[in-house]
Amino acid sequence: MILKEQSSRLCHQKNYEYVRVYIINIVAPIMIIAKNVVKQYGKLVALNNVTFSFENEQVTAIMGENGAGKSTLLKILVGILPFNQGEISVDGFSIVKDSIKVRERIGYLPETPTMYDRLTGREFLVYIASLRKFTEAEPRIRELSTLLGVDRFLDYELGTYSKGMKQKISIISAIMHSPANLLLDEPVWGLDPLTARALQKFIVDRKGTTILATHSPQLVEQTAHQVYIMKRGQVVASGSVDMFMQKYGSIEEAYFQTEGT
Amino acid sequence: MFDTYTTLLTDAGRNLQRNIRDSPVLYIWFGFMLVFSVAMTAMLTMFMLKNQVNMSIDDVVFSFFFVFLMKSSADFHKYFVQSPGVTYALSSAVSHQRTVGEIALMIFWTNLGLWVFFSSLFSVFLSVAGVSLGYPIEYLKFTTGVVLGCILGVATSLHFFSPHKLRLLPAGAIIGVFLYVRNLEIIVVLIGFSLCYLAWSVRYALDSYQYVNRKDRQKENKKAIMRTERSAIFFKETTVLWRDRLLSSFVFTSVATGGFIGYLAVFGKDLFIPESLRIQAEQFLPSVYVSLGIYIVIIFTAVFPAINMFLIEEQTMWVVRHLPVSEKTFVTGKVYALVIPFLCSIPFLAYYIAFAGTRFLAFSIWFLVFSYLAGVIISLPFGAKYIGKKSDVLVLYSVSLLVFGVVSVAAGLDAIVGRFFSAYHVLFYVVTIIFEIVLLLASIEIAAHVMAMKQKYSWFTGKPKL
């Protein structure tokens, strides 16, 4: 499916970047690679020489205790946070040398969605769409805001939104341009059960690479193909969700067993 | 005992320590600027004392009162009205009045500490310059003015952000009496009244805590309009400035300053300058006034917004950094947005001309444009350097002083050109503005580079990313 999309892009846009991505995709379908990444906050080592690979058309979950380095990893992959050592590439582009191209290919939901309080929800989303040069924003905002049940609040200032409403606006900003790579930090945080279920369905159905940082074993079981379990900046276990389920019976049990060690 | 008080003080202290550790050289420079400006104020005072300038001490007392009133109001808004962290203290077993009282106490002691520090430094400079310091009553008067300002500032902020604005009336009455009767005994009595007023106000503190109107802006958003990157940033910044009512405050600043400076240009000589110096003062005083007025206006309309547009991105850095927008586009969009505050500074000229006539019109227009551009040129790299670090008074103040240095040199050059090469005066104006436009482009590049460097180098170790 992705190959088909990319070949049609090739025909229409004749862009060499897509040729590059197309070739990379055939050779290796791994879209995001983080190799030997080290991140230090002063003396505290947040990520200690960790390596990840996130495959195309797969949902990968990252679990771990508070302070394990999940959000730090996502921020580094998006290019928000500089790192001390290692290599990161997204769709074959280096995050250091081609950061703009990397940012064009991702959607990101932060851990705490702080936005501009004086803008309305609609103004914020249009601002994000304008900076992304995403021209079909209006129908997409209408569609997604209705889906997430936030359409009637779109013209209120963001400063007056509740936690869950801000989370919904932030989710729309991350997914409205249908990014190839989607990075979600605690996506169901603050959401009502209906919206959380709709979001889970969206994650399962979507194409491309999806990375979830979450504490919810249920979300991992229902959406993810792969899982990494982190502790103190290191990966203590990784593998397919099926493998963990077979071995431990549930992701929750797998988490307790591996984190406990 | 005093848990909220000590926690807030510790937090503020550690915040300052962290900033100093992050940028020690700049903070030494900023500290130097502060000491330098106190020294300059002391020198100015000495000059005024030696030349027997007619200046009412009560006016100066009121100015200090007003400055501390504004500062403690802003502090209370920051530490209480808008602070999510206070929720924890408010939800504890400690009474709300006590928690708010501790916050007020922290603001009071911090501001009084600042007053004692700077006034002591000022006194040291004066004594070094050989001025007698035998003015205990005057010092007491200043201090009581500051104390009154701090107390009323907290109470004013508390009611200003509550839906019950009528509770502000006692504050207005106290300020009115203070303005009308300014002797020491009355100020002491007013302090007693304002303490009672504050104690009464604290009972209603929760009316203003995180007080927000759920503002529906449906009429303004009938259709989502897509924009180019730069115009999207321009629109966002201008909308925020407008809705924070900053644009109207810029217009007010330039109108008030224009009127006041125009008044001084007409009557200032007779008000302040002793008769023996009036003939000499006539030569330069009006141009000094207009320069000073323009400097005050551009500090509010150019320097503060230019730096704050970067500093206040603190919590929204993820928006800026995860989008496919280059640093240069980001900075340029913000510079576009500064065109509106510039337009807000133009009323200064109209009001000044209304009082003082068109004698300095060409100079005023040039100096306004020159100073505005200088303010933006200097502010951009500093804003980029401290992006996301909250509004920092020290940075704002130091950059303002730097701008003062630059515009003073420019005004001096203008005087030289006017005296020796008057035929080329217009050419001088045109060349300096073109030169500044080139510098502005360079400043945008530097600011973008500084922002990019912050991304490429680890913020904590200073080592480059591999």
Domain parsing of chain B, residue ranges: 3-211, 227-456
Cα atoms in the 13 Å half-sphere on the side-chain side of A159 = 17
- A121: distance to nearest CA of chain B, Å? 10
* Residue B415 confidence class, pLDDT cut points 50, 70, 90: confident
Beta bridge partners of A89: A33, A94
End-of-domain residue from the set A122, A147, A178: A178
* Global ipTM: 0.80
pLDDT of residue A15: 56
Which 8-state DSSP code applies to residue A157? B
What's the one-letter identity of residue A1?
Answer: M
Q: Is the pLDDT of residue A259 over 80?
A: no
Instruction: For residues A19 and A95, state if they share a domain.
Output: yes
pLDDT of residue B272: 65
pLDDT of residue B398: 83
pLDDT of residue A99: 85
* Interface contacts A/B by beta carbons within 8 Å: 129
- B322: distance to nearest CA of chain A, Å? 6
Q: Is the pLDDT of residue A96 over 90?
A: no
pLDDT of residue B243: 86
Q: Is the pLDDT of residue A107 over 90?
A: yes
B221: contact with A, CB 8 A cutoff: yes
Residue B94 and residue B102 in contact, taking contact as beta carbons nearer than 8 Å: no
Nearest to A155 among B217, B240, B457 (CB): B217
CB interface of B with A, residues 317-376, below 8 Å: 317-319, 321-326
Q: Is the pLDDT of residue A60 over 60?
A: yes
Please answer yes or no on whether A156 and B217 come within 8 Å at the CB atom. Answer: yes
Instruction: For residues A94 and A195, state if they share a domain.
Output: yes
* Residue of chain A nearest B217, judged by CA positions: A155
Q: For chain A, give the percent of residues with pLDDT over 70.
A: 88
Q: For chain A, give the percent of residues with pLDDT over 90.
A: 56
Nearest to B465 among A83, A103, A127 (CB): A83
Report for A70-84, B246-260, B366-380, B393-407: range of highest mean pLDDT: B366-380
Instruction: For residues A186 and A90, state if they share a domain.
Output: yes
User: Which of A31-40, A49-58, B268-277 has the lowest average pLDDT?
Assistant: B268-277
Q: Is the pLDDT of residue B91 over 80?
A: yes
Q: Which domain holds residue A190?
A: 2-105+179-260
Nearest to A78 among B240, B322, B456 (CB): B322
Please answer yes or no on whether B221 and A122 come within 8 Å at the CB atom. Answer: yes
* Residue B198 confidence class, pLDDT cut points 50, 70, 90: very high
Phi, psi dihedrals of residue A239, rounded to the nearest 5°:
160, -175
Measured between beta carbons, which residues in chain B are less than 8 angstroms from residue A99? 455
Mean pLDDT to the nearest integer, A107-122 = 90
Using DSSP, how many helices (H) and how many strands (E) does chain A show?
Answer: 11, 10
Phi, psi dihedrals of residue B112, rounded to the nearest 5°:
-65, -40
End-of-domain residue from the set A125, A158, A178: A178
Mean pLDDT to the nearest integer, A221-235 = 93
B240: contact with A, CB 8 A cutoff: yes
Instruction: For residues A83 and A131, state if they share a domain.
Output: no
pLDDT of residue A51: 93
pLDDT of residue A218: 93
Domain count, chain A: 2
User: Which of A62-66, A147-151, B135-139, B201-205 has the lowest average pLDDT?
Assistant: B135-139
Nearest to A140 by CA among A130, A156, A125: A125
* Residue B213 confidence class, pLDDT cut points 50, 70, 90: low
pLDDT of residue A27: 54
pLDDT of residue B200: 94
Nearest to A113 by CA among A51, A158, A63: A158
Which pTM value belongs to this model? Answer: 0.80
End-of-domain residue from the set A117, A145, A178: A178
pLDDT of residue A113: 84
Nearest to A130 among B217, B229, B455 (CB): B229
- A251: distance to nearest CA of chain B, Å? 31
User: Which of A3-7, A148-152, B26-30, B340-344 has the lowest average pLDDT?
Assistant: A3-7
User: Which of A233-242, B116-125, B430-439, B447-456 has the lowest average pLDDT?
Assistant: B447-456
SS (H, E, C) chain B: CCHHHHHHHHHHHHHHHHHHHHCHHHHHHHHHHHHHHHHHHHHHHHHHHHCCCCCCHHHHHHHHHHHHHHHHHHHHHHHHHCCCCHHHHHCCCCCHHHHHHHHHHHHHHHHHHHHHHHHHHHHHHHHHCCCCCCCHHHHHHHHHHHHHHHHHHHHHHHHHCCCCHHHHHHHHHHHHHHHHCCCHHHHHHHHHHHHHHHHHHHCCHHHCCCCCCCCECHHHCCCCCCCCHHHHHHHHHHHHHHHCCHHHHHHHHHHHHHHHHHHHHHHHHHHHCCHHHHHHHHHHHHHHHHHHHHHHHHHHHHHHHHHHHHHCCHHHHHHHHHCCCCHHHHHHHHHHHCHHHHHHHCHHHHHHHHHHCCCCHHHHHHHHHHHHHHHHHHHHHHHHHCCCCCCCHHHHHHHHHHHHHHHHHHHHHHHHHHHHCHHHHHHHHHHHHHHHHHHHHHHHHHHHHHHHHHHHECCCCCCECC
Q: Which of A40, A100, A116 is best to mutate for the B interface (most B CBs within 10 A)?
A: A116
Mean pLDDT of the residues in chain B: 85
* Residue of chain A nearest B216, judged by CA positions: A156
pLDDT of residue B374: 96
From residue B279, give the alpha-carbon distance in Å to each of B271, B288, B291, B416, B425.
Answer: 14, 15, 20, 20, 25
Q: Is the pLDDT of residue B338 over 80?
A: yes
Instruction: For residues A90 and A191, state if they share a domain.
Output: yes
Measured between beta carbons, which residues in chain A are less than 8 angstroms from residue B220? 120, 155
Please answer yes or no on whether B322 and A86 come within 8 Å at the CB atom. Answer: no
pLDDT of residue A261: 56
B233: contact with A, CB 8 A cutoff: yes
B227: contact with A, CB 8 A cutoff: yes
Instruction: For residues A210 and A167, state if they share a domain.
Output: no
Please answer yes or no on whether A155 and B218 come within 8 Å at the CB atom. Answer: yes
Nearest to A40 among B226, B326, B461 (CB): B461
pLDDT of residue B197: 95
Measured between beta carbons, which residues in chain B are less than 8 angstroms from residue A112? 315
Instruction: For residues A96 and A195, state if they share a domain.
Output: yes
CB interface of B with A, residues 293-322, below 8 Å: 315-319, 321-322
Instruction: For residues A224 and A236, state if they share a domain.
Output: yes
pLDDT of residue B172: 93
Measured between beta carbons, which residues in chain A are less than 8 angstroms from residue B459? 82
Instruction: For residues A171 and A193, state if they share a domain.
Output: no
Instruction: For residues A152 and A218, state if they share a domain.
Output: no
Q: Is the pLDDT of residue A124 over 90?
A: yes
Q: Is the pLDDT of residue B463 over 50?
A: no
B263: contact with A, CB 8 A cutoff: no
Q: Is the pLDDT of residue A35 over 60?
A: yes
Contacts for A10 with CB less than 8 Å, ≥ 6 apart: A18, A19, A22
Measured between beta carbons, which residues in chain B are less than 8 angstroms from residue A211? none
Instruction: For residues A84 and A144, state if they share a domain.
Output: no
Q: For chain B, give the percent of residues with pLDDT over 70.
A: 89
Please answer yes or no on whether A78 and B458 come within 8 Å at the CB atom. Answer: no
* Residue A25 confidence class, pLDDT cut points 50, 70, 90: low
Instruction: For residues A113 and A85, state if they share a domain.
Output: no
- B209: distance to nearest CA of chain A, Å? 14
Nearest to B240 among A99, A118, A122 (CB): A118
Contacts for A52 with CB less than 8 Å, ≥ 6 apart: A32, A33, A34, A37, A60, A73, A228, A235
Q: Provide the CA B256 distance to its chain's centre, in angstroms.
A: 15
- A260: distance to nearest CA of chain B, Å? 31
pLDDT of residue B49: 76
Measured between beta carbons, which residues in chain A are less than 8 angstroms from residue B315? 112, 114
Q: Is the pLDDT of residue B223 over 80?
A: no
pLDDT of residue A18: 56
Please answer yes or no on whether B233 and A125 come within 8 Å at the CB atom. Answer: no
Q: Which of B239, B332, B454, B458 is best to mutate for the A interface (most A CBs within 10 A)?
A: B458
User: Which of A98-107, B52-61, B117-126 has the lowest average pLDDT?
Assistant: B52-61
Please answer yes or no on whether B323 and A85 come within 8 Å at the CB atom. Answer: no
* Residue B214 confidence class, pLDDT cut points 50, 70, 90: low
Which 8-state DSSP code applies to residue A151? G
* Residue B458 confidence class, pLDDT cut points 50, 70, 90: very low
pLDDT of residue B221: 58
Q: Is the pLDDT of residue B278 over 70?
A: no
Q: Is the pLDDT of residue A3 over 50?
A: no
Please answer yes or no on whether A83 and B461 come within 8 Å at the CB atom. Answer: no
B449: contact with A, CB 8 A cutoff: no
Nearest to B315 among A79, A83, A114 (CB): A114
Helices (H), A110-191: 121-131, 137-147, 163-175
